[in-house]
Each structure stands twice: as C-alpha cells, then as structure tokens.
Amino acid sequence: MSKAIRFDDGATQFRQRLIASILSHRPVLIRNIRAEDLENPGLKDYEASFLRLLDSMTNGSKMEINNTGTQLRFQPGVLLGGDIQHQCPDSRSIGWFLEGIMPLAPFGKEELSIYFEGITDGCCELDPSADYLQKSAIPLFAKFGIGIDDDDSAVRIRVLQRAAAPTGGGKVHFQCPIVKELTPINFTDPGRIKRIRGTSISCKIVSSSMAARVAYAAKGVFHKVLPDVWIHTDAHTQKNHGCGPSPGLSLVVSTESTTGVILTAECCLNQAERGAELPEDLGQRGACLLLNEVQKGGCIDTSVQSLAFMWMTLTPEDVSRLRIGSLSPYSVETLRLLKKFFGIEFKLKADEDSKTILMSCLGTGYRNMAKAST
C-alpha cells in the first residue's frame, strides 16, 4: 500500500482530491476539516453524501472518519459504474454532485447511469445547474473521444423533473459510456461566434410570461452584436408534479463558433441576496455574463477548466493542447493537485495578441483496465 498523500488545509478541493485519489490509486488523508468551527466542525452533510456516492460507484473503497468529522482517511477502490440512485441533500444542488463525478464517469467497469434526486435550479451562484453542464461540459466529453462511437450510448444529462432551491424534488439522469483510453486534444482555435442559443426556465411562477420576459431582455442585448439568437422558454408548474414546491427563475445561454467552440453562462433569481429582481434585469445580467465569457477568449468555459486539465493529464503519452481565456483560482489549485498526484506539469504560454493562454502537457497514458479486459 502506497503512503497516503496528506492535506492539512481542510475541505479545500474536497471533491477533486478524492477523484484524483481514485484515478491515481493513491490514498489520501485530509485533516483539519473545519476544525476552527466550534459549533459545527467536520464534514458537511453534502460532503458525506458525496462520499456515499463514491462508495456506490466503486468497490473496495475504505473511508475512516474521526469522531468529530475533522479528519478523513480515504483508501480508493475500483471503479464499477452501473445503475445508481442517489438522493442529494437540499444544502447543495444536483449540479455539485454531477460536476464532482464527471472526471470518473468514463473509467468504470460498465456504463454509468445515475439518477439524482434533489435541487436542479436556483443555486447557480454556488453550483452549476444540470442545464449548464449539459451545454458546457458534455461537448468536452466528445473532444476526448468519449461517447462518439454509438448514439445509443452517448453522454447525456436529462432533467426529468425540475425543482428550484431551497426545496428539492427534482430528478436528473446522467449517462456516460466507458472508454479504454482518452483521445489527446488539440483545441486551440476559438473561431468566430456564429449563433447564440439558450433556455429561460421558470418553476412555480405565478405568471408564465416571466420566462418570456427574461428571454426577451436577453435577446435585446444579444441582437446588438449578432442576429442569429434563439432562446427557448421552459415554464413549469407544480400541477401534476411538473416541478418542485419552490419558485425559481433562471437563464442558461451559450454561443457556438465556426470551429465548434461552445461558451456558456447562466444566472438565476436569488431573492434572498438581490431582493425583488425584475425578469428583465435577470435576462440582461445573464446576457452580460455570457458576453464577458466570450471576451475572455479561449475554447472552453472557465468553470470546466479543471475537468479538461484532469483529462489532459490522463490521455495517452502524447501532447494535448488547449487554449483558455484566463486561469481561475480553482484551476490553479487543480494544476497543483495534478502535479502532486500524477507528477504532471503543464506548460503555459501567453498569447499577447488574443490575450489568451495556450496550455499543453504530456499525458500519463492512463488506461481503463476494466474496459481492456472485456
């Protein structure tokens, strides 16, 4: 048994450390998890729920938690995949769990199919929604050669029933086929924006026109720069269990370029922090967020950088190249984590003309042995 990699800074990058532990087959020891919080120290309910999810996805994983919950020793097992049902606590949305297990999804013994229950919308200030991940992360799967062989086993995220924060009741299905190995990428040409698409979503709103008002305001901003804009309205009511009991209003919009680059942004109505925000203000805010993402440049969204870096590390022993707009603090921590677990260092080259960063690395040659033996 290899020596555990020790972290003394608590719950920082909690999901990423566990994922890297499973993929590298190296145990981890995480200490001082909210040890300074005298009233509620240790793991939160959503972190314990994520551990249960990993336990469902693997065979032989061992988890030791001390009495106060401030220390976790994790011994990774073997990824299985298969059909899984998981109930997410209302403290975090389904997107938080879905985003966390995505790096593992292609490397199980069999195709992964997970049915999540919990909050689907209304937490975008904190967690990505399933709709956002469908637009931003799923195209990245295809770039690495995941789910491109058979339409029946393609990577899919389907929202079966919506539920806005703070009360759950929503359902999301995530399906991902397995691969023997990833495909190195050379994704450096952002191209030119040719169209904008989006969805305005409302849950249990008194007036069904509010989603239309959000879409109309967003289109008003986009039409100043591009004529090809289409935003669908998706209104749900609680009648016949069409959505959860809490009201919600959100917008997910994305651009597509001539080279297949898709950039996405989302925003949601958060009355607790923003007061009574008008639907028009929400639509304009969402449109500005997307334009800001486009202004950064690059070929992927800022929020999926860590997923791309993880898979670039696991590709065959060939060079992968990726252009990004700017490194987020979370992405910087991910690069440090990958060096610690896999010994991989990325080469960064600034492009002064486009104000972007060209990143490259040599893959470790990771292979899914369960796939290779079947």
- pLDDT confidence tier of residue 20, bands split at 50, 70 and 90: very high
Q: Is the pTM of this model over 0.85?
A: yes
In a domain, 186, yes or no: no
**Angle of CA points 156, 138, 363, to nearest 5°:** 125
Are 37 and 100 members of one domain? Answer: yes
Cα separation, 25 vs 27, in Å, equals 7
What's residue 151's pLDDT?
62
* Beta-bridge mates of residue 356: 351
Model confidence at 240: pLDDT above 70: no
Are 202 and 140 members of one domain? Answer: no
Instruction: State the CATH number of the domain containing residue 313.
Output: 3.30.1370
Q: Of 120, 144, 176, which one is at a domain's C-terminal end?
A: 176
Are 99 and 242 members of one domain? Answer: no
What's residue 150's pLDDT?
66
Are 48 and 172 members of one domain? Answer: yes
Cα separation, 102 vs 19, in Å, equals 9
In a domain, 145, yes or no: yes
What's residue 271's pLDDT?
56
Pairing of strands 28-30, 72-75: antiparallel
Are 14 and 109 members of one domain? Answer: yes
Residue-wise pLDDT for 265-296, tens only, equals 999 986 555 457 889 999 999 999 999 999 99
Residue-wise pLDDT for 60-91, tens only, equals 999 999 999 999 999 999 999 999 999 999 99
Q: Which of 202, 194, 266, 199 is nearest to 225 (CA)?
A: 194
* Residue 278: CA count within 13 A, CB half-sphere: 7
Cα separation, 61 vs 54, in Å, equals 8
How far from each other are the two terminal CA atoms of the chain, in whole angstroms?
27
What's residue 272's pLDDT?
55
In a domain, 184, yes or no: no
In a domain, 63, yes or no: yes
In a domain, 185, yes or no: no
- pLDDT confidence tier of residue 374, bands split at 50, 70 and 90: very low
Are 277 and 150 members of one domain? Answer: no
Share of the chain above pLDDT 70, in %: 94
Cα separation, 189 vs 186, in Å, equals 9
- pLDDT confidence tier of residue 3, bands split at 50, 70 and 90: confident
Q: Of 296, 315, 334, which one is at a domain's C-terminal end?
A: 296
Model confidence at 371: pLDDT above 70: no
* Beta-bridge mates of residue 170: 118
What's residue 239's pLDDT?
65
What's residue 136's pLDDT?
94
What's residue 203's pLDDT?
87
Residue 364, Ramachandran bin (φ over 0: left; ψ between -120 and 50: alpha; else beta): alpha
Residue-wise pLDDT for 27-69, tens only, equals 999 999 999 988 899 999 999 999 999 999 999 999 999 999 9
In a domain, 37, yes or no: yes
What's residue 27's pLDDT?
96
What's residue 204's pLDDT?
79
Instruction: State the CATH number of the domain containing residue 232.
Output: 3.30.360.20
Q: Domain tally for the chain?
A: 3
Are 31 and 156 members of one domain? Answer: yes
Specify the range with the lowest mean pLDDT, choosing from 262-266, 273-277, 303-307, 350-354.
Answer: 273-277
In a domain, 347, yes or no: yes
Q: What does residue 175 show for φ and ψ, rounded to 5 degrees?
A: -130, 135
Model confidence at 243: pLDDT above 90: no
Are 324 and 273 members of one domain? Answer: no
Are 307 and 290 members of one domain? Answer: no
Are 27 and 143 members of one domain? Answer: yes
In a domain, 57, yes or no: yes
Residue-wise pLDDT for 89-122, tens only, equals 999 999 999 999 999 999 999 999 999 999 999 8
Are 160 and 78 members of one domain? Answer: yes
Q: Which residue has the higher pLDDT, 312 or 247?
A: 312
What's residue 152's pLDDT?
61
Cα separation, 337 vs 78, in Å, equals 21
Cα separation, 63 vs 301, in Å, equals 33
Q: Return the number of other C-beta atoms located less than 10 Å from residue 103's C-beta.
A: 22
Q: Return the number of other C-beta atoms located less than 10 Å from residue 295's C-beta.
A: 9
Model confidence at 344: pLDDT above 90: yes
Q: Which domain holds residue 284?
A: 193-296
Instruction: State the CATH number of the domain containing residue 92.
Output: 3.65.10.20
What's residue 317's pLDDT?
92
Residue with tokens 């590390």: 313
Q: Of 296, 313, 329, which one is at a domain's C-terminal end?
A: 296
Are 94 and 232 members of one domain? Answer: no
Q: How many residues does the chain have?
A: 374
Instruction: Report the mean per-residue pLDDT for the chain.
Output: 91
Note whether 298 and 325 are within 8 A (CB).
yes
Model confidence at 369: pLDDT above 90: no
Cis peptide, bond prior to residue 177, ω within 30 of zero = no
Cα separation, 298 vs 354, in Å, equals 9
